[in-house]
Each structure stands twice: as structure tokens, then as C-alpha cells.
Chains A and B, each alone.
Chain A
Amino acid sequence: MTSRRSFLAGLAAVAIPCPTWADAGNPAYLAAAKQGETYALHGLTETGESLFSLPIPSRGHATAAHPNRPLAVAFARRPGRFAVVIDCANGVELARLIPPQGRQFNGHGVFSADGSILYTSEVVAETSEGRVGRWDATTFVRIDEWASGGIGPHDIKRLGTTLVIANGGIATDPRDRTKLNIPTMRPNLTQLSDTGAILAQADLPGLSQNSIRHLALGADGQIAFAMQWEGDPAETVPLLGLWRPGSAPRLCEAAESEALRMKGYAGSIAWNAAGQIAVTSPKGGVAMLFDEDGQFLATHARGDICGAAPLGAAGFLFSDGSGGLMTLVAGSLVPLNRLALHWDNHIVSL
């Protein structure tokens, strides 16, 4: 005769819920860092506290966060030959993705809305032609790949059931990242359907040397994109653009006296719920703010500032190479926290 206690224990045993991000402490963000000679993936709260620090095998670039399971895929810096799938609740490395022969990861990836598929931005190693790798997000076995619609894809984001890809346009030597095609490069934005068909594309006539690299999505389906200028560094060019698939992209200029502070390089981009857009330049040591119409608002200085993510209803979280985490308060950058490490490139929101 089963006791009531053992009966309930039996029920509990079969009702173990799937782990969620709550089991990893409910981080608001993921960010990779260099600590001494090692590398780690941190989960951060909205107040800049680190909830966990999980070792990753080498320098990480961006991270893809699963929509509901506490999984993060940390991509090696491009040209990347592996991505590590980490269970953030217990720090276990669940899988290591190796791109197929002839392919390299390009630093970014995104899960489908239901978390069943992982999409990875990749290049054909010898030609830098872009691919979107598709992986089963349960077994992490590769399913297939699509063409990304351009050369050197970098950031990749999910927009409804479609994918938006920043094709940077730069062909690089697979061994040492040397840029090979600067005089003839043609970056573009490409939107793919859920079957990999090209739905829309946009390029930058007259500004072909402005590599499109990073993306942020607005509340109403607009796409903000951040660029890195490969032309004459003395020329002032817009580094932020806005695109609604189906229309031409709009380029957003900073004030003439401010634009050169970005040193032609936008490293990260974020779009918050209040409609403000932030782009950072670690080379210029500044973050620039724009409104949702692309009007320049302000410049904030902070050495080696890099990662940017929306914070709360109307703010931003920034990270820098000195270990600082900062936010904007009443129009000034204020420190939230500082860790003894170097934050790397991007902060990913969960």
C-alpha cells in the first residue's frame, strides 16, 4: 500500500519542471570577459551584479541566450572554430559546436522564438561568402545552412518569424583576419524568411565602405544598424542607420562637431523601450545617443566603452574594458559596478 507521502514523492519525481533562467539566478544580461589569462561568461543583474562566472575556453564574442532554458551559446571570436553551449544553472558545458568543414563561425547567433533551433552567422572560410547555420537546439546537431545574402555576415537577429542579418561585406583571410576586398566591398542588410528565402535586402549606395555589423530591434519592427567605416578616417560618415524592410535605409548623422569622436567605428548598439538608441565606440571611448527618429542627442565619454544593452524603461547598461558597468542617470554616465576583469565587446539581454 503506497503511503500518501511516498505517493506525493512519486508525483514530484515525475513533475520536475524544465530548468529556466530562474535556476541560473534570473540574469538580465550575459557578458563575456577576460580575467587574468582566462575567459568567462557572466550573468548580470540590472544593478550590475555578477550572478555567475562560467569559464569559456577562449575569448568570447557575442552570446546567444535561449529564450526559456538557461542555456547560453558563447561564440569564439571570429574566425571562430567553435561555439560552446553552457548550462548557466550548473555551469556545465553541454555541447561544443564545430562548424562543418570549410565553414567558420562569425561571432553571432540567435535562437528561434520557441528555442527549437539555433541560427549561427558563418562564412565559407575561403571566400567569406555568408551562411546561416541551423542547429537543432536540443541535440545541437547541425541541420543545414542557408545563404546569408552577402559577404561576411556578422550580427543576426530574429524579427518575428524572419531573420535579419548584417552582412558586413568584408572578405577576410581565414587564417589571420586580414581584410581582402576593401576597395570593392558591398555590405548589406538581408531579411530571410523561416525557410531561408530572401524577403528583403538593403545596401548603402555611395557608402559601400561602411561595413554593417551590428543590429538592434525597435518596438515596431524597425531595425537599427551600426557600422564601421573602412574608408578615409578623416571623412565623417554616419555610423547608425534605420531600416524598415521594404524601404530604403535611413542614415543618421551625429552633429558635425561630434561625429569624429566615434573614430569611424561603432562597436555595439542598443535600443531601449523609451525609443532611444545607443551606439558605442571603444576606439573613440564614447557612447552616442540618438532618438528613434535618428536625431542625435548626446555623446558620453568613457575609455574603452563597448557593450551596450537596454536597461529598464528608459535607460542603458554599458560595459568597458576596465571592468566598469555604467548606466545613464539624468544625462550622465554613472558607474554601477566595477569588476577586476575586462568586459568584452557585447552585452546580451535576456
Chain B
Amino acid sequence: MRALILVLLALATPARADFPQTVQDHILPGYAAFDVATRALADKASETCLPDELAPAYHAAYDAWMAVQHLRFGPVETDGRALAILYWPDPKALGAKAQMALLTGDPAKLTPEAFAEQSVAARGLLSLERLLFPAETLPADPCPLIRATTADLARIAAQVHADWQDGFAQTLATAGDAGNATYLTRPEARQALFTQLATGLEFLHDSRLGRPLGSFGTPHPDRAEARASGRSQQNVLLGLQAMRQMVETLTPDAPETLAAFDRAIGLAKTLDDPVFAGVAVPRDRLKVEILQQAVAQIREVILSELAPEMDVGIGFNAADGD
């Protein structure tokens, strides 16, 4: 039994890890799962619009998005798809305003074709949250809009998945091959993926954690993401876990990076502040700040360990302020 466990453990760490493995083991499965979860959500919405009955499928779809939301390149960036899936932050509440017009307006705007033309802020997961977990009684029956929103999500998720499967995965995996006009060299593929990690960690730090933290004198718990459905802390945890998994597929030799992720993940798991309400309470605020610092630490470690290991860096011009 012990020998079997040892063999299984040895198999768990890939002996070969590089960007083709990231495509196969992290990106494609992630988009496939998001495709499945949004399809299930749309199907459920066609049966019932009751928030209690739709909530599990909503959470499953958001969980699936958090597994890939750090990948801000390729098919998800065309036609504003990533924003149509999740438009956050929305400091001027553009989404709520646009969505209210859709809720009380012409139902012709809810057909799939018409809905796809609506503002990205009015579509996607957080727009759905406003309908399933409303702060006040909604002025109209939300069911048609719930169905339009979930159908739109499923459509976009399927398109992104298909675009990856039908071409972009190949483009990325064959970086440096003759005729590849997108990734001229293999290092460019590694650079692109490293950039997703650096930017993803920055977004976690500055936005998912930073916006509710505000400053010590002016915290903004109202700015936490997905407060109404209680997902703020969950999203940070899932984002960290997804990026950690991506690192494992990118290289077999980044022990400090994985340790830094594990530390932040441990803090995120035990935080017990689902919507970061504690940022306004000094003793509880400290815990969120410690988590934020742990995320900052990961970003430093990926620069000192992962970047040289993968022979990449922060983009030469992106790093400079001009």
C-alpha cells in the first residue's frame, strides 16, 4: 500500500512541464469546465427562475470562471468577452443602471442577438447576481432577463472554448514553429503565460483585496466583489488555487513559488470573512492585510524564482512608466 502511494505521489508531479502542458492540463480543461458549468446554469434557468434553486448553478459557474479568469489573452479577449462574462470593478455602477433599463424595458432586447449587443456591464455573472440576490425588490419579473443573461453566458463560454479547441491552443502550443505569426519563439509563449500570472496576482492584490481594503482611515467594504452572493473571499481563494495549478504545469522546478502560493492559500482558507466586511474593523482588517501581503509576496517570488527559471520577465516596456 505504501509503495502504491509513493508511486502515485511521484506521478502527481509532472516530470515534464512547459507551456504545452499548461495548454493541455490547465487552460483547455478550465475552459471546458466553464463551458459545461454555464450550460448547466442556462439549462437550469430554463426550468426555474427561483433564486434558491438557481444559486447552486450560479456558484458553480462563478467557481468555474475563477479557474480561468486570470487568462487575459487569446479568444476571451476578443469582442469584450471577458468583460461580458464578468464586469468588475464597476465604480460608477454602470452595470446596475444599464441592467435596470433592460429589466423594465423592451423585451425585444432580450433575444440572444439583441442581448449580445447590450453593454458588457449589463451582462455576465455579477449582473446575474443582482437578479438572484437583489438588494431591493425588483421592479419587474426578472425571469426573462435571468434567462437571457444565463443563455448569453453559456453562448460566450462555448465560443471561447471552441476558439481554443479549434485553433488557439494549437497556435500557443506550436510557438516558434515556422509560420506561427502570433508567437514567434517558444520564449514568447512562456512570456505570455508568465504575464498572466503577474497580472493576475496584481489584480488579486490591487482590486479583489485592495479595493475593499481602501486605506486604514477609509476602508470600503462596500467595494468587495460579489458581496450579495457572499463570494468575495471564495473568489480570492479560487483565483490563488488556479494560478498555483498553472505554475505546476509551467515548470517542475519552482518550489519557492509554490510555497508562497500555499501560504496565501492557507490564509485565504482560514480568513472567515466571506465578504471582507472585517476591513472596517481594525483587528479583522489586519487579517485581510496579511493575506494581501502574502499575495504581494507571491508576485515577488515569481519575479525572483519563476522568471529566471522560465527565462522571462515583466515586459521591458510594460515595466517602465513613461
Interface magnitude class on chain B: 20 to 34
Could you say which interface size class chain A belongs to?
Answer: 35 or more
CB-nearest residue of chain B to A257? B80
Contact between A335 and B188, CB atoms less than 8 A apart: no
CB of B89 within 8 A of chain A?
A: yes
Judge if A273 is at the interface, Cβ distance under 8 Å: no
Q: Kindly state whether residue A306 has any CB partner on chain B within 8 Å.
A: yes
Bitwise, B282-322 to A at CB < 8 A (1) or not (0) is 00000000000000000000000000000000011110111
Q: How far is the CA of A320 from the CA of B318 in the complex (A)?
A: 10
The answer to the question of A304 belonging to the interface, with a C-beta cut-off of 8 Å to chain B, is yes
Instruction: Name the A residues within 8 Å of B79 (CB-CB).
Output: 257
- Give Cα distance in the complex from A304 to B192, angstroms: 10
> What residue of chain A has the Cβ atom nearest to residue B119's Cβ?
A256
B192 touching A338, Cβ below 8 Å: no
Known pairs A256-B120, A257-B120; A267 contacts B191 (CB<8 A): no
Q: Does A66 have its Cβ within 8 Å of any Cβ on chain B? A: no
Please, which residues of chain B bring their CB within 8 A of the CB of A324? 184
Which of A61, A303, A306, A334 is in CB contact (< 8 Å) with B191?
A: A303
Contact string against B for A residues 325-338, beta-carbon threshold 8 Å, 1 for contact and 0 otherwise: 00000001111001
**Which of B91, B187, B320 has its CB near the most chain A CB atoms (within 10 A)?**
B320
Q: How close is A280's CB to chain B, nearest CB, in angstroms?
A: 9
A196 lies within 8 A of chain B by Cβ: no
In the complex, residue of chain A having the shortest beta-carbon distance to the beta carbon of B183: A303
Check if B92 is an interface residue, CB within 8 A of chain A: yes
A261→B77 contact, CB < 8 A: yes
Report the bound CA distance from A232 to B189 in whole Å: 31
Complex Cα spacing A306 to B321, Å: 12
Report the minimum CB–CB distance from B179 to chain A (whole Å).
Answer: 11
Separation of A248 and B149 alpha carbons in the complex (Å) = 41
CA distance in complex: A233, B205 (Å)? 13
Asked whether any CB of chain B lies closer than 8 Å to the CB of A283, the reply is yes
Contact check, B192 vs A34: say whether CB atoms are below 8 A apart: no
Which residues of the other chain, B, contact A234 by a CB distance below 8 angstroms? Answer: 89-91, 207, 211
Is A213 an interface residue when CB atoms closer than 8 A count as contact? yes
> Do A283 and B91 contact each other (CB < 8 Å), given the known contacts A256-B119, A301-B77?
no
User: Which residues of chain B are near A342, meaning CB under 8 Å?
Assistant: 316-317
A-contacting residues, B67-92, CB 8 Å = 73, 77, 79-80, 83-84, 89-92
Give B99 Cβ to nearest chain A Cβ, in Å: 14
Give Cα A335–Cα B184 distance, bound, in whole angstroms.
8
B90 and A267 contact, CB distance less than 8 A = no
Q: Which residue of A lies closest to B316 (CB)?
A: A321
With CB as the reference atom, state the residue of chain A lying closest to B121.
A256
Of B80, B184, B195, B317, chain A has the most CB atoms within 10 Å of the CB of B317
Q: Which of A61, A213, A235, A334 contacts B181 (CB 8 A)?
A: A334
CA distance A126 to B313 in the complex (A): 33
Find chain A residues with CB under 8 A from B191 CB: 303-304, 322
B322 touches A61 (CB 8 A): yes
Q: Contacts of B211 on A, CB cut-off 8 Å? A: 234
Say yes or no for B245: interface residue by CB 8 A criterion.
no
Q: Point out the residues of chain A lying under 8 angstroms from B46, CB to CB.
A: none
Q: Are A345 and B322 in contact (CB under 8 A)?
A: yes
Nearest Cβ on chain A to B199's Cβ, whole angstroms: 9
Instruction: List which A156-178 residues lie within 8 A (CB) of chain B.
Output: 177
Q: Which of A228, A232, A304 is within 8 Å of B316, CB to CB?
A: A304
Q: Is B185 an interface residue (CB 8 A)?
A: yes
* Interface 0/1 of B198-216, CB less than 8 Å to A: 0000000011000100000
Q: Are A344 and B316 touching (Cβ within 8 A)?
A: yes
Provide a sorted-by-A list of 16 A–B residue pairs whose CB atoms are within 8 angstroms: A34-B316, A256-B120, A257-B80, A257-B120, A282-B315, A285-B73, A285-B315, A285-B318, A301-B77, A304-B316, A304-B318, A334-B181, A338-B185, A342-B316, A342-B317, A344-B317
Extra pairs beyond A234-B91, A282-B317 (11, CB < 8 Å)? A256-B120, A257-B79, A285-B315, A303-B191, A306-B317, A320-B317, A321-B316, A322-B184, A322-B188, A342-B316, A344-B317
Closest 9 CB pairs of A and B: A257-B80, A304-B315, A321-B316, A282-B317, A234-B89, A306-B317, A342-B316, A282-B318, A257-B120
